[in-house]
Chain A
Amino acid sequence: MELVEAIILSVLAASTPLLIAATGELVTERSGVLNLGVEGMMIVGAACGFGGAWLTGSIFIGALFGIIAGVLMSLIFALMALGLAVNQVATGLALTILGVGLSGLIGAGFVGERLTPAAHLHIPGLTDIPLIGRVLFGEDAFVYFSIALIIGVWWFLYRTRAGLILRACGDNHVSAHALGYPVLRIRTLAVMFGGACAGLAGAYLPLAYTPFFIPGMTAGRGWIALALVVFASWRPGRLVVGAYLFGAVTILQLHAQGWGVGIPSQFMSALPYLATVIVLVLLSRARTGGSTAPAALGTVFVPDR
């Protein structure tokens, strides 16, 4: 029992940064922009988040620093890919390379420092329920926030007019422009939201997951988040399922090694990507029509004015 509870707790903890980062990227991609710089925005968010918390002693301010850092990084992307209409794939890759280097520079002074990790909820009675108590009522604020975030994004995309306009920009930016919607402004906001989420997801790692900062600590989670959006076929509901599934795979990989299961750890690390490829194949085979991906995803838009 103890072990099961421990595994569930660690799966939730491992899944949360994936869910937060992928939620942001989902909104970005739904507006028609492919930002491959998630890994870069996350790692800068991690460095700045740790720095903020270490300097002020407040986890909340640390998280805020992470968000701001992510937004600033995403603005570089927006300036290049939206303002100057540069190729989005190239810009996103460059952003990741920049982020990895920048985070090493920012975080150099913090390596080896420790923090008190984010506090976990404790409701006497409820949290003490065996097996589910700590899972449901004993998490840190990031976990609850991530769930509220994805529900909020679902509601925004499918229940509000602003969400409809955002989806419209992702489906056909020429039509959206012809109807008078400010495509580039909407996309910039979506990219900034994606940056904020990536920064927060990055900050989660040194603030709650492991209470210290090491360079390169995102360890490819940004790439998994990108794969996750595709895996979820750009739908928020499937994104939650995918995030916990991918989180579980990373944890299982550790346990499998511990138990001496003869599966190479490299295979387990590759599983999320493999699963994404399989899902893509299944989706394209099952497709009856229309487009699963936002139809304008990754295409450059220059309005004539």
Chain B
Amino acid sequence: MQAHQRMLDPTPNGLHSGESPLLKTVGLTKRYGDFLANDSIDIDVWPKEIHALLGENGAGKSTLVKAIYGLIQPSAGEIRWQGEPIVLSGPSEARSRGIGMVFQHFSLFDNLTVAENVALGLDGKESFKDMSARLEQVSRTYGLPLDPGREVWQLSVGERQRIEIVRALMQNPRFLILDEPTAVLTPQEADQLFVVLERLKTEGRAILYISHKLEEVKRLCDTATILRGGKKIQTCNPRQETAASLARMMVGGEIREVKAAAGRQTTIPRLVVNDLSLAPDEAHGVRLEHISFELKGGEILGIAGVAGNGQDELFAALSGERPSKDPGTIVIEGIAAGHLSITKRRKLGAAFVPEERLGHGTAPRMKLSENALLTGHAASGMVNHGFIDTAATLKTVDKATETFDVRKAKRDPEAASLSGGNLQKFIVGREILRNPAVLVVSQPTWGVDAGAAAVIRQALLDLAAAGAAVLVTSQDLDELTEIADRIAVMFHGRLSAPLAASEATREKLGLLMGGSSLEPKEAAHAVGA
């Protein structure tokens, strides 16, 4: 009962006289030059609490947890641990006080073994042998199996995260920070993680949980603090909120609803893949095996799957970064294109948006106009007798800026100076403005804030409505069910038969993503029963 009241009134002076939160920040501020990454933030985290930290990219979540973990020094304000103000000289002091952290971008060393990685996260007071024995014991206790002798590059994403979690647990933390832990997991893997987190909670530990996924937060967390633009907006009980109300607090306004145009017509097949198999070109690549699908104009096909199951290889094969020997495996607009170069495929009317924005989608240190030229030179009239038509390239930038609301400091800045969401809007816009017949796009809204994501998804829907064939690869199942007509799943280089979006439940997709087969008959049977 008391726990319930605390959520309603999280101020320490309210119902908790005599008690103090495990960790409290008071007016915590971090300034980078003129930019306030954290503006006077107060949060309280209590034992036996899973406390969500919600906010868009750039809201200041990572800055806040870095300060709590001692990675950066706050410019003002203080951190109180069990009521006592503390100044953390660095992560090792945070760890020795009982603060642990599991990083979003894994802080692992690919060429070191699991045991060495764990040792680096501890303070080295025990021998390597004792540490290894304890590693085995902790991983068994929490049901997180690990092989200490393997090097990290050999492991799957889920296994890598297990290392991070076990490493944090081995410090026996009383306060554990998790930064977007489920971003890379299948729904089933995420469920397993929640079991571990619930167990940690019952053991009396406190968890600070950063996530974008609102449904997940509603299910798992007792308290949620919402940050926006470096400021704390509110602390609330997420179970009493709706996903929409949480999203409103995060964005500070309504998110544009993504709507498909009614009565979208499918036309002729514009992209056909026939039994495409391709050996990997690097040591830990994935072999594509017998991939076939047909994509008509006016249709969006979604490809789901855990990262590293051949999505990158499929993108490279479709875009022509890795041409195949057999022309017939890929047919664009009725023309066998499997052997063609990227430029020739663009001339057939195809456009491509890769996953990595900086370095793959754009040349980071080149201007936007130059980046527009890089993909538009063959088919968009930006080159005149071998000379660049600068006015035309700038016009493309202006048009993409206007149509897709790209926010930037000047007319033609370097690609690297744009925020992730704005750069992604520019890249998607650059391709869409070419009026492609086929658009292949990989992770269109990865690491993009909710507002920009809505713009991009709407643009993809509009493009399909205008008659183009759109292929979207994404790890975000909500995104795929929102925009795709059909969804197929990649696992170990194979592509499942597409499911109609209306039939593609999280459970079915999750099974396929984990490699279970889903016989069409069985699935139909299960639905019938």
| Chain A residues with a Cβ under 8 A of chain B | 161, 164-165, 167-168, 171-172, 174-181, 287-291, 294-295, 304-305
Contact = CB atoms under 8 A, between A and B. Distances in A.
A interface, by DSSP: helix, strand, loop or mixed? loop
Interface in B117-137: 119-121, 124
A172 B73 contact: no
A233 to B, nearest CB: 12
Given A179-B120, A179-B121, A305-B72, A168 B109 contact: yes
16 contacts: A164-B119, A168-B109, A168-B112, A172-B110, A175-B106, A175-B108, A175-B109, A176-B120, A177-B71, A180-B95, A289-B283, A289-B284, A290-B151, A291-B153, A294-B111, A305-B72
A174 B110 contact: no
Nearest to B32: A304
A120 B73 CA distance: 57
Given A180-B90, A288-B283, A165 B120 contact: yes
Given A178-B71, A179-B91, A180-B71, A290 B124 contact: no
Given A165-B120, A180-B91, A175 B107 contact: yes
A178 B112 contact: no
Contacts of B111: 171, 290-291, 294-295
B112 A161 contact: no
A164 B107 CA distance: 15
Contacts of B92: 180
Contacts of B284: 289
Interface string B472-502: 0000000000000000000000000000000
Contacts of A294: 111
A171 B117 CA distance: 11
* CB-CB nearest 5 A-B residue pairs: A180-B91, A175-B107, A178-B107, A171-B109, A289-B283
Contacts, number: 65
Nearest to B167: A179
A167 B152 CA distance: 14
A61 B324 CA distance: 66
B187 interface: no
Nearest to B124: A161
B242 interface: no
A177 to B, nearest CB: 8
Interface string B199-236: 00000000000000000000000000000000000000
Contacts of B90: 180
Interface string B147-176: 000010110000000000000000000000
Pick from A161, A167, A175 the residue with the most CB of B within 10 Å.
Answer: A175
B446 interface: no
Contacts of A180: 70-71, 90-92, 95
Interface in B257-311: 283-284
B107 A171 contact: no
B116 interface: yes
A287 B107 contact: no
Given A168-B116, A171-B112, A180-B95, 20 more contacts: A161-B119, A164-B112, A164-B116, A164-B119, A165-B120, A167-B109, A167-B112, A168-B109, A168-B120, A172-B109, A174-B105, A175-B106, A175-B109, A179-B121, A180-B90, A181-B120, A288-B283, A289-B154, A290-B151, A295-B111
Contact of B110 (A171, A178, A288): A171
A186 to B, nearest CB: 12
B103 interface: yes
Contacts of A161: 119, 124
A304 B70 CA distance: 12
Pick from B71, B103, B109, B283 the residue with the most CB of A within 10 Å.
Answer: B109
A295 B152 CA distance: 13
Contact of A295 (B91, B103, B110, B116): B110
